[in-house]
Amino acid sequence: MANIVVLGAGIAGHTAAAYLQKGLNKKEHKITVISPTPTYQWIPSNIWVGVGKMTPEEIKFDLRPLYKKWGIEFIQAKAQSFYPEGDEHINTGFVEVEYNNEENKGEKIKVAYDYLINATGPKLNFEATEGLIPGNGNIASVCTFGHASHAWELLQSKLDKMKNGEKQIFVIGTGHPTATCQGAAFEYILNVDFEIKKRGLEKQAQVIWITNEYELGDFGMGGAFIPKGGFISNTKLFAESYFVERNITWIKRAGVKKLDDHTIYYENLDGEYLEQPYDFAMLIPGFAGHGFKAYDKTGKDISDKLFAPNGLMKVDADYTPKPFEEWTIKDWPETYQNPSYHNIFAPGIAFAPPHSISKPMTSKNGTPIFASAPRTGMPSGIMGKVTADNIINWIKTGNATMIHKASMGRMGAACIVSAGYGMRKGTAATMTVSPVVPDWEKFPQWGRDIKTTMGEPGLAGHWLKWLMHYMFLYKAKGLPFWWMIPE
């Protein structure tokens, strides 16, 4: 009998759990999912919660009945520390977790495993930026459904002020010098702008994009080249055109350091310390690991064997420091297996990338200001499935060779960038890149396969995003033939 523990029930963790229960006989093997909350949320739709087009209930559901049906044990708890060798009493690896449910809150237990999937995602590191506190004053976030729900309340209050003739400044973008997830902020600013214009309030509003990107359209993946209108142009033009069309202005190469009630303080790559007034701010925080600790059998701290300095888990990537010019797709992991403990895996945002995808930039004062590597829903889902497939193969054959691989240097990704909700008047940009990490050896001219990399704005994009919302929730809910829907 194999005992598999999955930490986290987000896109990577839930996908892994779903395929594990499908591929393994649950009478012979035990699957346990440990997550601080019992709900699954379809994070890409947080944007629509943040502009009042969906309620939190429409983008989330309770995992417990599903896991009961699937024969998966669910523990509502937060992981605390890892013991990959066990301890003097337990001979197998285990994790120490702290209950987060009402009955046992604060109580710690040890959960043993034969295989461990760490899919705990990122810690939303708001505290790394002074004053960036969602829900505080004029600061909003769309990182969780709760944050997004508050963002809509705050946005409504600003819309009311504009209806009464007050001018309002909306600043949306990245809230840390090395933040990632520009795509989500990009979607949110376009949706906020759409809602303002829909109400005829554009004369009262100034909408500003603030970003740590070197150029707009970088999105943490070094930008992309897309064929359009007889040219092959960079996503810089694509993003700038989108903003100019809507009269949104931008501040780029900006590392946000601090916020107070009405001012954002930032440093730019030129080393200038500047200020931007605001009445509504939605800034994506930096991401970090959860600060987990790891111990060997004797109780010695071995956190550096499991985790990179940023707290994310080490996997089969090449972490050798090297200059940007020497980066290749071979640096990127394929199986998300920890190199020291082969029965531990970290798919999704939980794994430590070997480096960023965008070129690291430093201000004249020595502050790193650039976009970190993104890991969106589609790659996270694929990583979760590949991890499950490898564990299933290992259990069934006894062969520990990882036969399933999913490198971000080989897989593509599709991203639908919503720019306004509505089946007749909505719009979104459909973007695909292949591969996610540019492969300059295979595609020396453009870094990616130019035949499959594209960006196309239009109403059809909104239909696609709307369809994907329902399709991926259908899949996550494990409804009939869920497994036929790809990640």
Among 27, 89, 300, 424, which residue interacts with other proteins (rule: CB under 8 A)?
424
Among 109, 288, 450, 464, which residue interacts with other proteins (rule: CB under 8 A)?
464
Among 237, 288, 450, 471, which residue interacts with other proteins (rule: CB under 8 A)?
237
* Least distance (Å) between residue 470 CB and other proteins: 15
**380 contacts other proteins (rule: CB under 8 A):** no
Distance, CA of 82 to chain centre? 23
- By C-alpha distance, which of 122, 270, 275 is closest to 210? 275
**487 contacts other proteins (rule: CB under 8 A):** yes
Q: Which is nearer to other proteins, 200 or 291 (CB)?
A: 200
- Alpha carbon distance, N-terminus to C-terminus of the chain: 28
Residues 109-148 binding other proteins (CB under 8 A) are none
Among 80, 241, 310, 328, which residue interacts with other proteins (rule: CB under 8 A)?
241
CA dist list (Å): 126 to 44, 133, 134, 173, 370: 20, 6, 8, 14, 17
Residue 151's Cβ-count burial label (10 Å; 0-12, 13-18, 19+) is: buried
**260 contacts other proteins (rule: CB under 8 A):** no
Three-state SS letters, 396-407: HHCCCCCCCCCC
Among 265, 443, 446, 463, which residue interacts with other proteins (rule: CB under 8 A)?
463
* Least distance (Å) between residue 10 CB and other proteins: 19
Q: Which is nearer to other proteins, 19 or 278 (CB)?
A: 19
* Least distance (Å) between residue 380 CB and other proteins: 12
Q: State how far the Cα of 40 lies from the Cα of 479, in Å rounded to an integer.
A: 15
Tokens describing residue 427 = 């719009």
Q: Report the SS3 class of residue 137.
A: coil
**249 contacts other proteins (rule: CB under 8 A):** yes
Would you say how long the chain is, in residues? 487
Size of the site for other proteins (CB under 8 A): 37
Among 52, 93, 183, 461, which residue interacts with other proteins (rule: CB under 8 A)?
461
In one-letter notation, the amino acid at residue 345 is F
Residue listed under structure tokens 């970290």:
346
Residue 32: φ, ψ to 5° = -125, 130
Q: State how far the Cα of 137 lies from the Cα of 117, in Å rounded to an integer.
A: 38
* Least distance (Å) between residue 405 CB and other proteins: 10
- By C-alpha distance, which of 258, 228, 227, 242 is closest to 183? 242
Q: Which is nearer to other proteins, 83 or 466 (CB)?
A: 466
CB 336 within 8 A of CB 345: yes
Instruction: Give the interface segment with other proteins, choosing from 69-77, 171-179, 324-332, 430-438 (CB under 8 A).
Output: 430-438
**391 contacts other proteins (rule: CB under 8 A):** no
In one-letter notation, the amino acid at residue 44 is P
Q: Which is nearer to other proteins, 146 or 458 (CB)?
A: 458
**101 contacts other proteins (rule: CB under 8 A):** no
**218 contacts other proteins (rule: CB under 8 A):** no
CA dist list (Å): 269 to 213, 255, 317, 368: 10, 8, 29, 8
**62 contacts other proteins (rule: CB under 8 A):** no
Q: Which is nearer to other proteins, 463 or 474 (CB)?
A: 463
Q: State how far the Cα of 485 lies from the Cα of 146, in Å rounded to an integer.
A: 28
**456 contacts other proteins (rule: CB under 8 A):** yes
Tokens describing residue 203 = 């004369």
- Report the interface residues with other proteins, using CB under 8 A: 237, 240-241, 243-247, 249-250, 378-379, 382, 385, 406, 411-414, 424-425, 427, 430, 432, 434, 452, 454, 456-461, 463-464, 486-487
